Amino acid sequence: MGRNIVQKILGSHLVSGKLSAGSEIGISIDNTLIQDSTGTLALLQFEALNISGIKAKRSTAFIDHNTLQAGYENMDDHRFIESACKKFGIYLSRAGNGICHQVNLERFSMPGETLLGADSHTTTAGGVGMLAIGAGGLDVAIAMAGEPFFMAMPLVLKVKLEGKLPLWSSAKDVILEILRRLSVSGGLGKILEFSGPGVKTLNATERATITNMSIELGALTAIFPSDDITRRYFRAQARENHWKKVEADNDAGYDDELVIDLSAVEPLIAKPHLPDNVVPVRELEGCPIDQVAIGSCTNSSLEDMLKVVSIIKGKVIPSGLSLVISPGSRQVLLELSRNGGLYEMIAAGARILESTCGPCIGMGQAPCSKGVTLRTFNRNFKGRSGTEDALIYLVSPETAAASALQGVITDPRRTGSTMSISLPDNFLVNDDMIIKPSIEWKDIEVVRGPNIMPLPAFDPLSADLRGETLLIVGDHITTDDILPGGAEILPLRSNLPAISQYLFYKVDSGFLNRAEQGKGGFILAGRNYGQGSSREHAASALRFKGIRAVVAKSFARIHKANLVNFGVIPLEFSNEEDLARFSLGDRLHIKNVISTIREGKPLKLNNLTKGFTIKIMLSLSPRLYDILIAGGLLGYIRSEKNR
Ligand code: MIC
Ligand code: SF4
């Protein structure tokens, strides 16, 4: 049998293990990506590895998240990142150059290569045939050091696209349709590989919109073939020499298949508070809205922006509505200013934001209280906009623009029978805002403002774990619930003692106090615990507060790996019903943790308060056991070196 794209790329990068589903494999990483909100910690960890410079083929860093400078912290972080990039030989896309995934697609993506990024939406580059995976900052730091990335070999789900999207339906509606069918945990343990005749009806940035949101399914990543359409995109970026054909063999096998008829996809909308809460836009037509936000790494390409321009051109938004637009990159913004699109946006009443993540991560533009905000973004978790009681809906650029003009949710099919946009044959290519590595910076001093705190050292695991139940939560807890983003907290990403004060504060304001009083304890949770972003702070801050174990019905992939990297044990209930038997404050005990883990036996969780014992599981590879026992990945690496 022939091979699919995933097998081909993994096969050519395999350094350990076998490509059989579920078993641990190690793959070599060609490219790495960090951004400013995960990158400070990743760079501090890279420094701790004591390596003179990066060993991956190419490492990149982007300043795009923490750009609202209400205090000195963010710019201090930018200075730190810039100096560390120069010292270690990392390409730096400076503030103003654009959102990491959009700039990566335009200027750095490489079909057929691997990319590990300290951001969950690294998957975006799958749109051009790159195997692009999101991970915690420490895993990325280790890949920067030239070491392999380890993961469980995923199942490959073939997504066969048939037909062609109707006018007013968008690539965003395709991924919303997949989310509607599979749910936010339907992609766990899988890579989505797109194929079928519908693929050639989508251009490179449309494909990237789809792979971008594959992480919302819980999938490892998603990938499209790299074909002549991809080649055209690379030519327009003056990088045809980086293009390479990537395709599956005709007789390739897959673990499962999903068929999507593009011609039947209609405009869709994800209702609060999860991206899989999807219904047709027509069902919500007429609902009043307060804000429309267009941009983010999902929908900020030139094509998306031109669609918006063609809808709002010559019209003005109604009173009571705020329209904010963040073009995805300096290239997109320059194109819009060259072709007059920017003029039309401003004339229509749009507020133009810099080319950054901005409102997507609550960095400004928080909606009014109880506000309804329609966004072309990828996550609608409660509170993510910066307003706790706001309602976030996720839509395509077409639906966003059509609704912005009416002030109510509007099916874009009402807008008319044509839309004409034309993409340039050659994009404006200008890399002046990218600092390239140079040998002359080798001895540069890394600049550390007062917000850059040294990494704490974490102890190895102790034989017995005791503590109280500090928190009990339900299904689909996100890393935004564990440690929110937003303008107040994001500037503290390089300061673990300060940021850990915000743990779970929106979920339960008493949590921190209980954790501090008890000097640690246990968190109990439902399914898909830790879904969403890759922020490793959601694990390192827990560890900093002394929490050594989370017991859940199941975990999201990146967060589970981050917990292990920081020595927090991700335990699973053998019987899901057991969660209901625990109460807040119950005193818990797990004895002989290390010897039981080493023997590969199930652990026993003893509820001392209620007097019962249950079986709990630890499903990890032996390598990860050793990391946990060493107290985390940095401790493990140090102990390996000292052997
Ligand atoms: C996000 O979309 O939640 C973020 C902010 O980009 C995160 C990274 C972070 O928390 O810094 C992500 O997706 O990984
Ligand atoms: Fe930035 Fe939002 Fe994309 Fe995360 S999802 S990288 S915050 S634009």
- Respond yes or no on whether the N-terminal peptide bond of residue 101 is cis (omega within 30° of 0): no
Assign 391 to helix, strand or coil: strand
Give, using CA atoms, the residue closest to atom 4 of ligand 1.
533
pLDDT at residue 3, rounded to an integer = 98
Strand order in the sheet with 149-152: 14-16, 24-27, 149-152
So what's the pLDDT on residue 601?
Answer: 87
For CA atoms 133, 139, 141, 142, give the dihedral sign: negative
Average pLDDT over residues 336-349: 98
Pocket of ligand 2 (CB under 6 A): 65, 99, 119, 121, 296-297, 357, 360-361, 377-378
Cβ neighbours of residue 95 closer than 8 Å, sequence gap 6 or more: 63, 64, 67, 78, 356
Whether residue 448 has pLDDT greater than 90 = yes
Q: Which residues line ligand 1 (CB under 6 A)?
A: 37-38, 65, 119-121, 134, 361, 485, 532-535
pLDDT band at 418 (very low <50, low <70, confident <90, very high): confident
Ligand 1: residue of 296, 494, 534 to mutate (most ligand atoms within 8 A of CB) is 534
Instruction: Using pLDDT thresholds of 50, 70 and 90, give the confidence band for residue 298.
Output: very high
Q: Is residue 643 very low, low, confident or very high in pLDDT (cuts 50, 70, 90)?
A: low
The whole-number average pLDDT for the span 213-240 is 98
Looking at residue 56, its pLDDT comes to 98
Cα distance from N-terminal residue to C-terminal residue, the chain: 44
Tell how far the Cα of 119 is from the centroid of ligand 1, in angstroms.
5
Is the dihedral angle over the CA atoms 52, 539, 65, 203 positive or is it negative? Answer: positive
For the question of whether the overall pTM of this predicted structure is more than 0.95, the answer is yes
CA of 357 to the centre of ligand 2 (A): 5
- CA of 209 from ligand 1 middle (Å) equals 16
User: Stretch 314-330: mean pLDDT, rounded?
Assistant: 98
Q: What average pLDDT score do residues 366-371 get?
A: 98
pLDDT higher than threshold 90 for residue 245: yes
Q: Please report which ligand is nearest the Cα atom of 479.
A: 1
CB atoms within 10 A of CB 434: 17
- Mean pLDDT taken over the chain: 97
User: Does pLDDT of 444 surpass 80?
Assistant: yes
Which pairs from 228-234 meet CB under 8 Å and 24+ separation?
229/200, 229/202, 229/203, 229/204, 230/111, 230/128, 230/129, 230/204, 232/203, 232/204, 233/128, 233/203, 233/204, 233/205, 234/128
Residue nearest ligand 2's atom 1 by CA: 357
* pLDDT given for residue 598 in this prediction: 87
Q: What is the rounded CA–CA span in Å between residue 68 and residue 51?
A: 32
Local confidence band at 16 (pLDDT 50, 70, 90 cut-offs): very high
User: DSSP per residue over 229-248, as a string?
Assistant: HHHHHHHHTT-GGG---B--
Percent of the chain residues past pLDDT 90, beyond the cut: 95
Residue 140 has pLDDT above 90, yes or no: yes
Residue 112 has pLDDT above 90, yes or no: yes
Q: What is the mean pLDDT of residues 529-550?
A: 97
Amino acid at 513: N
Residue 144 CA to ligand 1 center (angstroms) comes to: 19
- Mutation probe of ligand 2 site: the residue of 62, 215, 378, 558 with most atoms within 8 A of C-beta: 378
Distance 433 CA to ligand 2 centre (A): 20
- Rounded distance, CA 624 to CA 621, Å? 5
* Structural domains of the chain, with CATH: 5-264 (3.30.499.10), 268-414 (3.30.499.10), 465-641 (3.20.19.10)
Percent of the chain with pLDDT over 70: 100
Note the pLDDT of residue 450.
94
> Which of 35, 67, 97, 121 best tests ligand 2's pocket when mutated (most atoms within 8 Å of CB)?
121
Interval 475-515: pLDDT, tens: 999 999 999 999 999 999 999 999 999 999 999 999 999 99
Bridge partners, residue 589, by sequence: 466, 606
Kindly report the protein residue whose alpha carbon is nearest to atom 2 of ligand 1.
533
pLDDT score recorded for residue 1: 87
Looking at the CA of residue 296, tell me the nearest atom of ligand 2: 8
Question: Average pLDDT in the 568-582 region?
Answer: 97
* 577/598 Cα distance (integer angstroms): 27
Does the pLDDT value for residue 397 go beyond 90?
yes
Mean pLDDT of 178-186: 97
